[in-house]
Structure 1
Amino acid sequence: MKRNPRKVKWTKSYRALRGKDMTQDSTFEFERKRNRPERYDRNVFNNTLNAMKKIHKVRAEREVKHIAKRMQGKKQKELQEAQKELEQSIYMVKAPSVLKEDQSLTLPKLKVKVSQKQAAAQQMEE
């Protein structure tokens, strides 16, 4: 369809361009395909398994840091948006002392009638 892959959100290039995926992680170098068959060596095999565990641990730590770094600005942005919304609609906020004086500003308390069958059914479910 001749779309630019950097603009289509599900592509790797989009995620790499927007900083959503970790692309510069050096642990990805270990997963390169090697076409040469290796001779079996027990020491190499054990070292490889130990290295895989370490790489997995390092990669998990880096992923956590990456996500934390991405989310770092989000709290500040949410706070700014909340402050802006409050400034725009401050007239809707009433002080608690005003609400105590004028009961018409509070929401009415609704009473709902429940039949005996419905009450028994709710108790059975709990």
Structure 2
Amino acid sequence: MRIETCYFCSRPTYPGKGIMFVRNDSKAFRFCRSKCHKNFKMKRNPRKLKWTKAFRKASGKEMVVDSTLLFAARRNVPVRYNRELAKKTLEAMDQVAEIRARRERMFYKRRMAGNRKREALAARKLIAEHSHLLLPQPKRPLHPKLRAKKLAALQEAQAAANGLDVHVDEDGLELETTDAVKSKVAARRMVRQRITADGRVELEEEMAAGNSSALVGEDDDDDDFDDDDEMAMD
């Protein structure tokens, strides 16, 4: 069986598929599908429809002059069957198909070379002509977690520039610098000195709630010292 070619779109029409139309002058037309048959009856030109092979060849989108295209040309020459000849023909068909595919890829690359540059220039020209239609895009607010991480990273960078160590928790919030922690701990630590009736001096170390309580504690120390002095005097 022979694989026919669609008269309208030039697609292959396999045996048992497609539509065959015979005109009054006994000329036969084969179509791969009803779409091609309807366009043929509406007397449309295949070279003016973008989905046909005739349009692509006419507009330079496919190869037209190539030696591999002659291999599939129709030859109505009767040849005596020869097994070796059939074997060589099948091998040649695979080689020709591979060569044709490689040449088509090269043809496509050469045809599409510089296409991106042309599209970029066209887009720039369009933007320049209609720049008055462009509106400033509003800035979308950041997610709270992203904002916290960004703030933590900024604080770490500032602390590194100042030479301080910064502790950051999992949520991205700054806790305290090392120097600030040391100063607070030193301020909250309170030492009491107490003189007993026997004349012994006792030291008591306590942690106050804050700086204000530490000051109150100092005043209490003075009161305790005065009371002990009075007891010793007695």
Which moved further from structure 2: 57-66 or 13-22? 13-22
Which residue type is aligned with residue 49 of structure 1? Answer: L
Higher radius of gyration, 1 or 2: 2
State the 4+ residue runs in structure 1 displaced beyond 6 angstroms.
Answer: 91-94
Report how far residue 93 of structure 1 moved.
7.7
TM-score (norm 1): 0.60
Percentage of matched positions with identical amino acids: 41
- Closer, same or farther: CA 72–36 of 1 in aligned 2, 3 Å: same
Which moved further from structure 2: 4-13 or 61-70? 4-13
* Correspondence for 2:90: 49
TM-score (norm 2): 0.36
* Correspondence for 1:121: none
Matching of residues 56-95 of structure 1 within 5 Å: 56-84=97-125, 87=128, 89=131
Which moved further from structure 2: 78-87 or 64-73? 78-87
Coordinate RMSD, CA, aligned:
3.0
The correspondence for 1:10, drawn from 41, 51, 60, is: 51
- Closer, same or farther: CA 29–76 of 1 in aligned 2, 3 Å: same
The structure with more helix, counted as a fraction of residues: 1
* Correspondence for 1:108: 141
Report how far residue 77 of structure 1 moved.
0.9
- Closer, same or farther: CA 5–41 of 1 in aligned 2, 3 Å: closer
Q: RCO higher in 1 or 2 (8 Å CA, sep ≥ 6)?
A: 1
Q: In 1, Cα distance between the equivalents of 2:108 and 2:69?
A: 17
Q: In 2, Cα distance between the equivalents of 1:54 and 1:14?
A: 28
Question: Unpaired segments of 5 or more residues in structure 1?
Answer: 95-104, 112-126
The structure with more strand, counted as a fraction of residues: 2
* Correspondence for 1:122: none
